[in-house]
């Protein structure tokens, strides 16, 4: 991810009210890196937590997953909604219910990918599709073979 997008993800991560568990893990990783007590790292101002999170060499996997989710929810809702519309999946501005079932039809998934690839920047599409594939490989098994999942350039 480019530096600006990484910063947007870190900012969205600390604002994400549904990511308390991952934020606690991030605070633990920051405390360990800085040799702080967890309690001291927890009360750092948000701009410093953002920077320290960006500076971590190793990010715990759940934190990385929440970073990507927070980024997409905050900055890529139109693309998420367009993708789900193309899949004919019920959603609320790009957000699905936990019970929502994604069609297992690879042709339908490919068509939805083509739809968003025609309307959104290639790097944004690649990041979104890669995130879906990484977080739920079984549901999105058709994605890794598609050229749209690879960044341009």
Report the predicted TM-score, pTM, of the whole model to 2 decimal places. Answer: 0.90
- End of a domain among 30, 58, 74? 74
C-alpha distances (whole Å) from 109 to each of 44, 62, 76, 79, 117 are 43, 26, 18, 14, 12
Please indicate, yes or no, whether residues 70 and 85 belong to a single structural domain of this protein.
no
Residue 112's pLDDT is what? 95
The number of domains in the chain is: 2
Comparing 6-15, 57-66, 99-108, 109-118, which segment has the lowest mean pLDDT?
99-108
Q: Are 61 and 75 in contact, with CB atoms under 8 Å apart?
A: no
| Collapsed DSSP state (helix, strand, coil) of residue 95 | strand
Please indicate, yes or no, whether residues 50 and 80 belong to a single structural domain of this protein.
no
């Amino acid at each position: 991810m480019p530096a600006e997008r990484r910063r947007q993800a870190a900012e969205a991560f600390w604002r994400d009210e549904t990511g308390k568990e991952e934020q606690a893990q991030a605070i633990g990783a920051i405390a360990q890196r800085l040799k702080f007590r967890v309690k001291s790292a927890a009360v750092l101002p948000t701009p410093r937590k953002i920077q320290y999170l960006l500076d971590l060499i190793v990010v715990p996997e759940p934190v990385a997953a929440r970073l990507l989710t927070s980024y997409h929810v905050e900055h890529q809702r139109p693309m998420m909604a367009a993708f789900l519309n193309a899949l004919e999946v019920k959603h609320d501005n790009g957000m699905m219910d936990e019970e929502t079932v994604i069609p297992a039809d690879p042709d339908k998934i490919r068509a939805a990918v083509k739809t968003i690839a025609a309307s959104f920047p290639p790097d944004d599409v690649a990041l979104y599709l890669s995130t879906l594939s990484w977080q739920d490989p079984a549901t999105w098994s058709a994605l890794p073979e598609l050229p749209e999942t690879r960044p341009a350039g």
